[in-house]
Structure 1
Amino acid sequence: MKLIKLDAIDSTNDFLKALSSQDELENFTTVTAENQTKGKGQMGGKWQSEIGKNLTMSVLVKDFLFDNEQVFNLSVAVSLAVSEVLKSLNIPDICIKWPNDILSYNKKLVGILIENTIKSDGRIVSVVGIGINVNQTDYTDLPNASSLAVISGKTFEKEEIAVLIVEKLKEKIELWKTSAALLWDDYFNSLFKKGVPMPFSNLDNKNFMGIIQGVSSVGKLQVLLEDDSVAEFEIKEVKMLY
């Protein structure tokens, strides 16, 4: 894989998107940064990270998505790839909080932001942003977050994790050609709080009880409500209260 290492950048996703628009980059080109000044989360949220302590990376993915209805497939593949790498590092109790946060012991370790661009010829080119809390240990202002170091009691080599993730992602994308249904099953089975009654909050800040049933093919969260109907929610339309 082609690895571009930066000391500081506003956003690795923005850097890689700009680079890919000007140059025919090889698939899975990866950018990492020690300091990201304007890291992005889902729906315009911010990704905060202590300088030099965590893994901030973006990966170019081409020739996988060919239809807008398929874009969540990449989220599934990335979530599973990152989850399996963390499990291989002996990080316990790994699960995927819809749509693609990775948790351990209910604490967020990983945020994923995928940005897709449709080219003039119809191709979909994706930039996969992955932020992993690796060696940071102070989460005073982020009570729902933790890191590999906090959970395992040891430090990690960030670049080695980046390489493992890209190799695992390549593996998942190749596997998708023959085993898409199996990968979707793995994703469903890894979902945080799946099948467990729990409180949610909607856009109007109204709380309600529901049970996560799964995720639709386009990435909507499917929740069984108290009246036995199943509602589907887009990202940011619903919040899990845990």
Structure 2
Amino acid sequence: MSFQFPASQPSATHLTAARIATFGAPQSDQIDIEVVAETGSTNADLLARIGTVGADSMPPALTRPTLLVAETQTAGRGRAGRAWLSAPSAALTFSLAWPFEGPLQGLVGLPLAVGVAIAETLAGFGVDVQLKWPNDILRFGSKLAGVLIETASSAQGKVWAVIGIGINIAIPDEIRQQIGRDIANLQALAAQDRDLLLGVLLSSLTHNMQQFERDGLAVFVERWNRLHAYAGQTVVILDHGKVLHEGTALGIDRIGRLLLQTDKDSTPIAIMAGDISLRVKDPE
């Protein structure tokens, strides 16, 4: 499926919940959508509302899936507490709080399913991307988007996943220099309709969350592997700069572990996500 942006809607226009809901229909009927001009972290804001008790509580407690979008995040975070820098209209920064019926361990592999949803949605807009294990979306080999998932339990014992997503739209040069590494922009979409993009992303995420809760990660494995950025390449697994493993990246297994062929005659080893880094090995 492909999408086209209305030519009359510039990206600088403020995001609006009503338009996001319109483009996210029919799934948006099941979700509360909120847009704020600025906040520290959309993930932190939603996590604070999961443990809140009572209808009159401030901030209001979450009662169903909720999308919180910020024009600007001043304390956005990535994996391992890394900062996610953004500027107004330069990125889409948002979090989706989603309640799951199953146990916490049932959420293993959720970042991979979210990555598939983002990649497949962007493909519908003519933007081809690839996935880097465990939670990055790459364009032309540079980071375009990232996913941070945090979990919490409500007073009723329900498990919530707060899915934080940041997608670079047009990051200015000064922020690119602060980041200190290559990042990608959706420059072709910079002058287009962010409400439409976010609405379609919300629809895709909703569908994929429902599928994940029903069927688990297994139904996403083949789709993720088709989008694998480093398939067949020699990579290294790093822990605080120290090489833990080196081998050929094969893809993910049914529970989301990265399969690494370290020796031609050996069984591939399975790498669990954690506070580790994945890099393509530099040529000799």
Which has the higher mean CA deviation after the structures are superposed, 1-10 or 109-118?
1-10
| CA distance in structure 1 between the aligned counterparts of 2:76 and 2:217, rounded to whole angstroms | 31
Going from structure 1 to structure 2, the CA distance change for 1:216 and 1:203 (only over 3 Å counts) comes to farther
**Residues 136, 147 of structure 2: 8 Å contact kept:** yes
Q: CA deviation at 1:212?
A: 1.7
Q: CA deviation at 1:91?
A: 0.8
| Aligned residue among 92, 98, 105 for 1:61 | 98
Going from structure 1 to structure 2, the CA distance change for 1:200 and 1:25 (only over 3 Å counts) comes to closer
**Residues 100, 161 of structure 2: 8 Å contact kept:** no
Q: CA deviation at 1:78?
A: 1.3
2:134 corresponding residue in structure 1: 99
1:86 corresponding residue in structure 2: 122
| CA distance in structure 2 between the aligned counterparts of 1:111 and 1:122, rounded to whole angstroms | 29
**SS in structure 1 opposite 2:242?**
coil
**SS in structure 2 opposite 1:163?**
helix
| CA distance in structure 2 between the aligned counterparts of 1:209 and 1:240, rounded to whole angstroms | 10
| CA distance in structure 2 between the aligned counterparts of 1:166 and 1:213, rounded to whole angstroms | 30
Instruction: Confirm whether residue 18 of structure 1 aligns to residue 57 of structure 2.
Output: no
Q: How does 1:1-242 map to 2 (within 5 A)?
A: 1-22=31-52, 23-63=60-100, 66-92=102-128, 94-138=129-173, 139-141=176-178, 142-149=180-187, 152=188, 154-176=190-212, 177=214, 181-203=218-240, 205-206=242-243, 209-226=246-263, 228-229=266-267, 230-241=269-280
**SS in structure 2 opposite 1:27?**
coil
Q: CA deviation at 1:84?
A: 1.3
Q: What are the ranges of 5 or more consecutive residues in structure 1 without an aligned counterpart?
A: none
Going from structure 1 to structure 2, the CA distance change for 1:158 and 1:171 (only over 3 Å counts) comes to same
Q: CA deviation at 1:20?
A: 3.1
Q: RMSD in angstroms over aligned alpha carbons? A: 2.5
| CA distance in structure 2 between the aligned counterparts of 1:9 and 1:154, rounded to whole angstroms | 22
Question: Aligned letter for 1:169?
Answer: L
Going from structure 1 to structure 2, the CA distance change for 1:110 and 1:157 (only over 3 Å counts) comes to same
**Residues 203, 237 of structure 1: 8 Å contact kept:** yes
| CA distance in structure 2 between the aligned counterparts of 1:179 and 1:113, rounded to whole angstroms | 19
Question: Aligned letter for 2:280?
Answer: L
If the length of structure 2 is used for normalisation, what is the TM-score?
Answer: 0.74
| CA distance in structure 1 between the aligned counterparts of 2:278 and 2:156, rounded to whole angstroms | 37
Going from structure 1 to structure 2, the CA distance change for 1:71 and 1:217 (only over 3 Å counts) comes to farther
Going from structure 1 to structure 2, the CA distance change for 1:153 and 1:52 (only over 3 Å counts) comes to closer
| CA distance in structure 2 between the aligned counterparts of 1:119 and 1:5, rounded to whole angstroms | 23
Choose between structure 1 and 2 for higher RCO, CA contacts under 8 A separated by at least 6 residues. Answer: 2
**SS in structure 1 opposite 2:184?**
coil
**Residues 2, 28 of structure 1: 8 Å contact kept:** yes
If the length of structure 1 is used for normalisation, what is the TM-score?
Answer: 0.86
**Residues 33, 56 of structure 1: 8 Å contact kept:** yes
| CA distance in structure 2 between the aligned counterparts of 1:208 and 1:73, rounded to whole angstroms | 21
Aligned length: 238
**Residues 134, 158 of structure 1: 8 Å contact kept:** no
**SS in structure 2 opposite 1:161?**
helix
**SS in structure 2 opposite 1:114?**
strand
Going from structure 1 to structure 2, the CA distance change for 1:167 and 1:71 (only over 3 Å counts) comes to same
| CA distance in structure 2 between the aligned counterparts of 1:137 and 1:87, rounded to whole angstroms | 24
**SS in structure 2 opposite 1:206?**
strand
Going from structure 1 to structure 2, the CA distance change for 1:26 and 1:173 (only over 3 Å counts) comes to same
